[in-house]
Amino acid sequence: MLSLVWGVYPIHSAASPTVENMLDDVFCEAKEAGFTESGRPFVIVAGMPFGTPGSTNLMRIAWT
Reduce the DSSP state of residue 18 to 3 states and report it: coil
pLDDT higher than threshold 70 for residue 4: no
Q: What is the pLDDT of residues 5-61, one digit of tens each?
A: 667 777 777 778 888 888 888 888 888 888 777 788 888 888 777 777 777 788 888
Parse the chain into domains and list their residue ranges.
Answer: 2-63
Alpha-carbon distance values, 20 to 4, 8, 14, 23 (Å): 30, 22, 14, 5
Check: CB of residue 64 under 8 Å from CB of residue 43: no
User: Taking CA 64 as the corner, what is the angle to CA 28 and CA 27, rounded to the nearest 5 degrees?
Assistant: 20
Residue 57's SS3 state is strand
Neighbours of 30 (CB within 10 A): 19
- What is the CATH number that goes with domain 2-63? 3.40.1380.20
- pTM of the predicted model as reported, rounded to 2 decimal places: 0.63
